[in-house]
């Protein structure tokens, strides 16, 4: 047996939890490819569980025990056996778990051992070699996990959840189950909550966001932008989401809908139909338009809507057609002409007042 002391104090990364450590080990396995890893849970009699996380076709060299050495290749991975697995093992041991690794023809058993020179416990590993042929895989086995701790982590790992409801878009899964609402995942692993109310949860593809080492922070504006993009695509895939999206107010995942809605005829048409149902024969406008552009039009019934809603409606073909159908005021035409046009349109109800209107109109001037 060979003993190697890694020189990592048990106090390192004091803010990491068991959840952080398990996420790190799962990330390493997942980065090896969707079909190249497995996970198994073993339930013990004392309401404790043991967990195996196996990566296929990968073995760890001993030099990966050194900080700075890694098995990572390529730019599209997050974990894959770099510094993180040593840190994950350290945190698990510190929290009373036992951790072993079977890799190739070797069995590694990790410990926290006292170091007399520095008067602190450090991470250490005992390595035993097998006589039988090497298995080209690596399995992390974690023991002494209370069932409630495992269940808490399972809620933060979509790979361990059975049959969660989703709509797939080009860069993420929109998670429809209430239990995932407000959660942001990347590659199936929980990262952080959304800062503010959302309609759904989101599992983004790896590479959508930049993450730090702790992988628990995403820029709030970026998260809102990407979620809004996903919502628009999700509505195109599943029309049953439409009403909920249209009725949303102040949710972070609909904050930027106006930037993406034109790519979705379903959503933009539905928003227009809803406006017309509420305000028949009307045209939406924003507050500033009443004193600006609309003074140049006659014959339209305008309704002021929130600026965000107008930004979307005004980009639809229905809005363009409605505005094109209006008569544009010609500033060279005398006001009397407009009075006559108005009378022609409403003559049935204005016959007895026509003379009065004509006399009054003679005093008007074009401004």
Q: Which residues pair with 157 in a beta bridge?
A: 189
Q: What is the pTM of this model?
A: 0.75
Residue 265's pLDDT is 76
118-135 pLDDT tens trace: 999 999 999 999 887 678
Q: What is the pLDDT of residue 297?
A: 64
Distance in angstroms (rounded) separating the CA atoms of residues 162 and 154:
10
Model pLDDT, residue 150: 93
Residue pair 130/102 in contact (Cβ under 8 Å)? The answer is: no
User: What residue spans define the domains of the chain?
Assistant: 2-155, 166-248, 261-328, 333-366
pLDDT of residue 354: 62
Closest CA to 256 of 227, 235, 286, 218: 227
Q: Select from 3.30.565, 1.10.10, 1.20.1070, 3.40.1350 the CATH code of 2-155.
A: 3.30.565
Would you state the pLDDT for residue 263? 73
Q: Which residues of the chain have pLDDT under 50?
A: 72-81, 291
The confidence score (pLDDT) of residue 83 equals 82
């Amino acid at each position: 047996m060979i003993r190697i002391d890694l020189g990592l104090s048990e106090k390192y990364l004091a803010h990491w939890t068991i959840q952080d450590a398990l996420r790190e080990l799962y990330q390493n396995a997942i980065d090896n490819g969707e079909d190249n890893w497995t996970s198994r849970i073993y339930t013990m009699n004392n309401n404790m569980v043991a967990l195996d996380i196996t990566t296929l076709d990968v073995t760890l060299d001993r030099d990966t025990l050194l900080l700075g050495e890694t098995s990572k290749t390529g730019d599209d991975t997050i974990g894959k056996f770099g510094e993180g697995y040593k840190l994950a093992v350290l945190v698990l041991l510190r929290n009373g778990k036992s951790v072993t690794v079977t890799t190739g023809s070797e069995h590694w058993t990790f410990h926290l051992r006292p170091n007399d020179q520095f008067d602190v416990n450090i991470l250490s590993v005992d390595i035993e070699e097998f006589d039988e042929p090497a298995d080209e895989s690596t399995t992390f086995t974690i023991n002494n996990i209370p069932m409630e701790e495992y269940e808490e982590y399972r809620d933060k790992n979509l790979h361990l959840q059975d049959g969660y409801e989703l709509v797939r878009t080009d860069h993420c899964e929109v998670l429809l189950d209430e239990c995932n609402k407000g959660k942001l995942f990347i590659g199936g692993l929980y990262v952080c909550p959304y800062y503010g109310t959302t309609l759904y949860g989101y599992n983004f593809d790896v590479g959508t966001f930049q993450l730090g080492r702790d992988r628990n922070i995403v820029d709030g504006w970026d998260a809102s932008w990407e979620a809004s993009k996903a919502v628009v695509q999700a509505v195109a895939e599943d029309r049953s989401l439409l009403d909920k999206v249209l009725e949303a107010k102040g949710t972070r995942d609909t904050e930027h809908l106006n930037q993406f809605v034109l790519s979705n005829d379903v959503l933009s048409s539905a928003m227009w139909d809803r406006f017309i149902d509420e305000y028949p024969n009307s045209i939406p406008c924003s507050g500033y338009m009443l004193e600006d552009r609309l003074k140049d039009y006659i014959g339209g019934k305008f309704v002021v809507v929130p600026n965000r809603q107008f930004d979307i409606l005004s980009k639809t073909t229905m809005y363009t057609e409605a505005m094109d159908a209006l008569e544009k005021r010609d500033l060279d035409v005398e006001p009397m002409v407009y009075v006559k046009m108005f009378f022609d349109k409403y003559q049935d109800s204005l016959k007895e007042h026509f003379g009065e209107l004509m006399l009054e109109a003679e005093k008007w001037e074009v401004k």
